Amino acid sequence: MTGTTDIESVETFRARSKAWIEANLPLLSEPWVETRELQRLLFDNGYAGISYPKEYGGAGLTIEHQKAFYDIVAEQDRQVPSELMVSIGIIGPTILDNGSQELKQRFLPPLLRGDEVWMQLLSEPRGGSDMAGTTCRLKRDGDTYFLNGSKMWSSGAYHADYGLCLCRSDWDAPKHRGLSTIAVPLQGNPPGLTIERTRAVSGEAGHFCEEFFDDMPLPADNLIGEENAGWSVAQSLLFHERNAVGGIGMGYLGGWRRGGGAGAFTGIDVGPLREAAERRGVGGAVGTMIADAVISSVVDPLTSDRITLGLQLGTHKGHRGSLSKLQSSLSLHGVARAALAIEGAAALVWDGDDVQLDNAGTSWLAARGSTIAGGTSEMQRNTISERLLGLPREPAFDRDIPFNEVLRNLGKF
């Protein structure tokens, strides 16, 4: 991503992207185009993985080019395959950072083409925040690894092709030194794998799943990074995840800016709140809630833009993405709460015998998702205070002792 001299200027790229987007990408108001098909369209025209190196199927340009492209997408209300945010914004960059040449050549082009969709296998029934405490076992036998244990909350595992799985390969080493990451195929009923969809809080079949691994065989070539070096892979994954959620860096993919209309600061749509307030004629405290939503809708994207710029210029380093992740997830929760308050009883009660899901009440039930998924707000605050501001780390009782001596969950976990 250096050597800007021999790279197409952002201006010419912007101009040609604009023309291409106008001619080719469907509008948000048009029928929904299937994710993989849409990604294939981007790939075939050189707009998939804009900041990925060419040798792995990317466009070989910079994050600035990527940002230009997705800004046009947002301005023009165009569809992009935002369901691939995890693959392209998180897993791809993690493989780029950590994979061998062969691994990158094997996995990145199909990922960018939309042929292989990825998701993350990190959280477990045992816990999600303490990711390095994984109790999934990975054991090598010749050219094959065998995986045992279970993962939980895995978004989209039922339709994804691969999961990036963090597991424990050495139980005698201290917590962080016995981890490995490996690509786990999910489709076609591979032996040793059971996937169950979790029922979401709305009552519907959830987007997330639980996986059970029972001596699941995996080729040794699927290992991402070295054996027992899984923690550094996981850290780079978390870094990209925060960025993707905060709309920063390689994670600037337009998904979260969707639906803002031309020139609007997007991400949060205040329109429905205003309409509800007008309809119901509630003043005072409600006005403050609307104003707070307006403020978030303006400040959050400006903040992530500032951090993106800072990372580019080098004035910002490391874990700044946590600022945006924390900010935007709190805002989303705040807006869901405002909608609940402003819409009142009508958001919770309806006529007829059918369950209805399209209401502020049901959205409220899932509103904490944003402050839990991708590292809870508390974990972001730990990262910001410790990694960004250098404050003393939390005392921990599980470091520097063999992992099999560490205290774990009591009872049923």
Ligand X SMILES: Cc1cc2nc3c(=O)[nH]c(=O)nc-3n(C[C@H](O)[C@H](O)[C@H](O)COP(=O)(O)OP(=O)(O)OC[C@H]3O[C@@H](n4cnc5c(N)ncnc54)[C@H](O)[C@@H]3O)c2cc1C
Residue 78 or 316: the one with the smaller Cβ distance to another protein is 316
Task: State in angstroms the smallest separation of the CB of 77 from another protein.
Answer: 18
List the structure tokens of 149: 């244990």
Q: By CB under 8 A, is residue 236 in contact with another protein?
A: no
Binding mask 330-369 for ligand X (x = CB under 6 A): ---------------------------------------x
Interface region with another protein, contact rule CB under 8 A, candidates 49-57, 212-220, 293-301, 354-362: 293-301
Q: Is 406 in the site for another protein (CB under 8 A)?
A: no
321 in Cβ contact with 248 (< 8 Å): yes
CB contact set of 272 (below 8 Å; sequence gap of 6+): 339
Binding pattern for the stretch 144-163 against ligand X, x by CB under 6 A and - elsewhere: ---------xxx--------
Number of residues that bind ligand X (CB under 6 A): 21
d(CA 37, CA 44): 11
Stretch that binds another protein, among 45-53, 124-132, 286-294, 401-409 (CB under 8 A): 286-294
Task: By CB under 6 A, name the one of 173, 295, 372, 406 that touches ligand X.
Answer: 372
Within 304-363, the residues that bind another protein by CB under 8 A are 305-307, 309-310, 313, 315-316, 320, 323, 326-327
Q: Which residues pair with 210 in a beta bridge?
A: 196
Decide whether 196 or 305 has the Cβ nearer to another protein. 305
Q: Which is nearer to ligand X, 220 or 366 (CB)?
A: 366
Among positions 190, 378, 393, 399, the unique one binding ligand X when judged by CB under 6 A: 378
- Are the CB atoms for 127 and 378 separated by under 8 Å? no
C-alpha torsion angle, residues 82, 254, 291, 319 (rounded to 10):
100
Among 41, 295, 365, 406, binds another protein (CB under 8 A): 295
- How many other CB atoms sit within 10 Å of the CB of residue 145? 24
Give φ, ψ of 36 to 5 degrees.
-65, -35
46 interacts with, out of ligand X, another protein, none, CB within 5 to 8 A per kind: none
Q: Which two tokens stand for residue 10?
A: 């952002």
Give the residue, chosen from 386, 398, 402, 406, that forms a contact with another protein under the rule CB under 8 A.
386
Q: Does 208 bind ligand X (CB under 6 A)?
A: yes
Within residues 91-130, the interface with another protein by CB under 8 A covers none
Name the residue nearer to ligand X (CB basis): 91 or 341: 91
84 binding ligand X? (CB under 6 A): no
Please report which residue ranges of 138-257 form alpha helices under DSSP H: 230-246
Q: What is the DSSP code string of 43-69?
A: HHTT-SSTTS-GGGTS----HHHHHHH
Site membership for ligand X, residue 133 (CB under 6 A) = no
CA distance 397 to 37: 49
Q: Which stretch binds ligand X (CB under 6 A): 77-85, 96-104, 113-121, 298-306?
A: 113-121
* 298 touching another protein, by CB under 8 A: yes
Q: What H or E segment, with its residue span, contains residue 359? A: none
Residue that has been written with the tokens 């910001």 in this structure? 384
Residue 291 interacts with another protein (CB under 8 A): yes or no: yes
Helix H or strand E encompassing 201:
none
CA distance 160 to 187: 7
Q: What is the rounded distance in angstroms from the CA atom of residue 92 to the CA atom of residue 112?
A: 8
> What H or E segment, with its residue span, contains residue 302?
helix 285-313
- Among 279, 381, 399, 408, which residue sits at the site for another protein (rule: CB under 8 A)? 381
List strand residue ranges (DSSP E) for 134-226, in order: 137-141, 144-155, 162-168, 179-185, 193-199, 205-219, 223-224
**Structure-token match 């369209």, residue found:** 41
**Does 119 interact with ligand X (rule: CB under 6 A)?**
yes
Q: Does 127 bind ligand X (CB under 6 A)?
A: yes
Residue ranges binding ligand X (CB under 6 A): 119-123, 127-129, 153-155, 208, 369, 372-373, 375-376, 378-379, 382, 394
